[in-house]
Structure 1
Amino acid sequence: MKGLKNGKIITKDEVLDNKVLLFDKEIIEIIDQEEIDRYDRVELMDVKGNYISPGFLDLHIHGIKGYDTMDGNYEAVSSISNIISKKGVTSFLPTTMTMDQESIYKSLDVIKDSIKKNIQGATILGAHLEGPFINEKYKGAQNVDYIQEPNYKFIEDYLDVIKMITLAPEIKQSYEFMDRIKDENIVLSIGHSNAKYEEALEAINKGISHATHTFNAMSSFHHREPGVVGAVFNSDITCDIIADKFHVHPDNFDLLLKIKGRDKISLITDSMRAGCMKNGIYELGGQKTTIKNGSVRLDDGTLAGSILTLNLALKNFKDYSGLDLMEAVKLVSLNPAKVLGINDSKGSIEIGKDADITLFNDDIDIKATIVEGEIVYNNL
């Protein structure tokens, strides 16, 4: 059994001082520090006053530090897992791009195989299929040459690994597609969509339960045509947002919070291979991108994913939304776990849940990361 002492434990309801968190593969107990002598053979780690938080979960990440999910090899996926664990992430969905079918399948095969392996980093929960079932008008940095109508045959051999699909529901065959997979354990998310307000609401009634990078790559809100953004605002679905201050004006963080509520929002990175890299030219989905002044763009100026890390997303959202730290942490832990329906085992520090734990300081700099009871990063 292991224990963490001298830290501030962030639970769902409060921040606890002068406690010890006991865990093995799962959370065992939270006890008073004076009680530790009653327990034998506890490997105690002094966390030196840092916060003890539930581990972070990223629903949408393409790559980081030179690696991308679409590289289609184990080195890329395992390296992404290892690198993002140093940013507090304990589990994630490697995310594909709109590319040729062979490349997408190759990446999905690698993700499926990697789940079975003991990677020394964040847990791979499955894949997020971003495209190819999207609208050309809001393709963003996706490759228009490979956009196609939704079809069940395209994904039928990967139902066990795909956990989320971003799609444009106004595209022909979308409703048939959604109906076909409604009983699968797959989250359908509206994104890269030009749907009208009424179309988006109808899609929500037919199975869309989430929205991908809200505000970005979707029909915007207008007082005479509320668009996808209006449908997100005026429905009960969950949503995520890229809180890098480039994709969305930071004053909109608080606006979204007031409209959707603190339980309906998750933070994502949408990071691509240029994440944690210096200024220069990089590739995304077979397209040239350039990092300059903190953002990454195509040659035409289109934002192309991000170079955001989840700990920075948390800091940005907290700073601009007015949420206290305990509530803000839920946007990178409990809320995304709820989106995937795995909040019975992940997302908060509770007895019996997986020991996915992130330690950070007041600036949300990551000090250590623990995945299912194993320390995968330690900078205390």
Structure 2
Amino acid sequence: MRRLIINGKLLLNNSVVNNKNILIEDGKIAAIGNEFNAHDIIDANGNYVSPGFIDIHIHGSAGYDTMDGNFESLNAISKTIAKHGTTSYLPTTMTEDITKIKKAIKNVYHNKSNVEGAEIIGLHMEGPFINPHQKGAQDEKYILKPTIDNFLNLCGDFVDIVKLVTIAPEMDGALDLISYLKDKGIVASAGHTDSTYDEVVAGVKAGITHATHVFNAMKGFHHREVGTLGAVFDLDISAEVIADGIHSVFPAIRTLIKQKGIDNINLVTDAMMAASLSDGKYELGGQDVYVKDGAARLKNGVLAGSTLTLDRAVKNIVDNTDLSLYDAVILASFNSAKVIGIQDRKGLLKEGYDADIIIFDENIDIKKTIVGGKTVYEKK
């Protein structure tokens, strides 16, 4: 089916373009320009037309979690985050009981093509190969030694669904596993780590290319041992950040942008099941989480994921940095695609790319979400 988006302000080629339309055919962006014919006209009504957001680190939403290990949960997450402009994502597992992790991975593998909202493009394993000293809200009793055997025991026949693994490079055995992940085309990301600068360097030499929720659950910066954070600043790896003003205040995020440059940073939510819901008591990784004023914490006060959505993250970047709307959107779309190697088909309004497109107003309030050319959300 041919669809045509008209009357939009297109975020295109580092600018906002007012006089072009987007032709969608067979789930792809067939052409961008004028003089197209189509039976199905989508009128953007002067709103912004943008590539859809890509969330490579999200545990849950709307009362559901990836670790539930069932289709109902994945489908609910997919449909809910689509309302906030996310068109593709990596359901993210936790450091939990081995059987639960296995079940969650198998569930994502078998149901990735069945969800009705945002597309599942793989899976992110956040742990269990982490440092207990930087466990954050992960349950220490389920941390495993980072070995190839342990990794394969968790993934089994479903290893191909794994696109990203958060790992502490300083742990015994980690470098061999990181090297294995690199050979398999799986992104190894430094996170939940107490690593020194030199330990991160060793991890990067082994294959680390990314850093998980920078500033959070990692050794901080000191001028005589710059730690994990200093390594992230200094080395040629990408860095994800939770731009909610809670996990990291905006002066820290502005510093990260200045240090890394906008090409090397991407926005994630690290959202848990309370996202899109009200304050109250929830669960993450088998532990009780208390949400107050939108901040999710364990009983001891440790942050436990977020209630952030990517539309709000982009708005926060626009409101609290000097980045343009175009660049803020790139942080939530193309840059995330680059991290996991799908930038040749997702993250831009470009001919030949997947028709993952969102329409939103000046407040980044989502009006319509299109995934693979199909409308999956429309604000009434």
- Taking the aligned partners of 2:361 and 2:113, their CA distance within structure 1 comes to 33
Structural mapping, 1:99-118, within 5 Å: 99-117=96-114
Structure 2 counterpart of 1:227: 227
- Taking the aligned partners of 1:276 and 1:362, their CA distance within structure 2 comes to 21
Structural mapping, 1:193-342, within 5 Å: 193-342=193-342
Deviations 1:141-181 (A, max 9, x none): 00011001112123332320110000101000111112223
Structure 1 regions of 5+ residues with no counterpart? Answer: none
Structure 2 residue 64 is matched with structure 1 residue 64 = no
Q: How many residues were matched structurally?
A: 374
**In the alignment, residue 99 of structure 2 is paired with which amino acid?**
E
Structure 2 counterpart of 1:29: 31
- Taking the aligned partners of 1:181 and 1:131, their CA distance within structure 2 comes to 14
- Taking the aligned partners of 1:293 and 1:377, their CA distance within structure 2 comes to 27
Aligned partners of 1:239 and 1:265 also within 8 Å: yes
Aligned partners of 1:159 and 1:184 also within 8 Å: no
Aligned partners of 2:113 and 2:119 also within 8 Å: no
Aligned partners of 1:220 and 1:228 also within 8 Å: yes
Match of 1:95 among 89, 92, 96: 92
**In the alignment, residue 29 of structure 2 is paired with which amino acid?**
I
**In the alignment, residue 74 of structure 1 is paired with which amino acid?**
F
User: Which secondary structure does the structure 2 equivalent of 1:160 belong to?
Assistant: helix
Structure 2 regions of 5+ residues with no counterpart? Answer: none
**Displacement, 1:29?**
1.0
Structure 2 counterpart of 1:127: 123
Superposition misfits of 4+ residues, deviation over 6 angstroms: none
- Taking the aligned partners of 1:319 and 1:97, their CA distance within structure 2 comes to 32
**TM-score, with structure 2 as normaliser:** 0.97
Structure 2 residue 174 is matched with structure 1 residue 177 = no
**In the alignment, residue 367 of structure 1 is paired with which amino acid?**
K
**TM-score, with structure 1 as normaliser:** 0.97
- Taking the aligned partners of 1:132 and 1:347, their CA distance within structure 2 comes to 29
Structure 2 residue 148 is matched with structure 1 residue 147 = no
Higher mean alpha-carbon deviation, 159-168 vs 16-25, is at: 16-25
**Displacement, 1:70?**
0.4
Deviations 1:260-296 (A, max 9, x none): 0011000000000111111111111110110112201
**In the alignment, residue 184 of structure 1 is paired with which amino acid?**
K
- Taking the aligned partners of 1:253 and 1:99, their CA distance within structure 2 comes to 30
Deviations 1:23-63 (A, max 9, x none): 1210011123xx24xx2x43111111110000100010000
Aligned partners of 1:240 and 1:267 also within 8 Å: yes
**In the alignment, residue 148 of structure 2 is paired with which amino acid?**
Y
User: Which secondary structure does the structure 2 equivalent of 1:181 belong to?
Assistant: helix
Structural mapping, 1:30-49, within 5 Å: 30-32=32-34, 35-36=35-36, 39=37, 41-49=38-46
User: Which secondary structure does the structure 2 equivalent of 1:18 belong to?
Assistant: coil
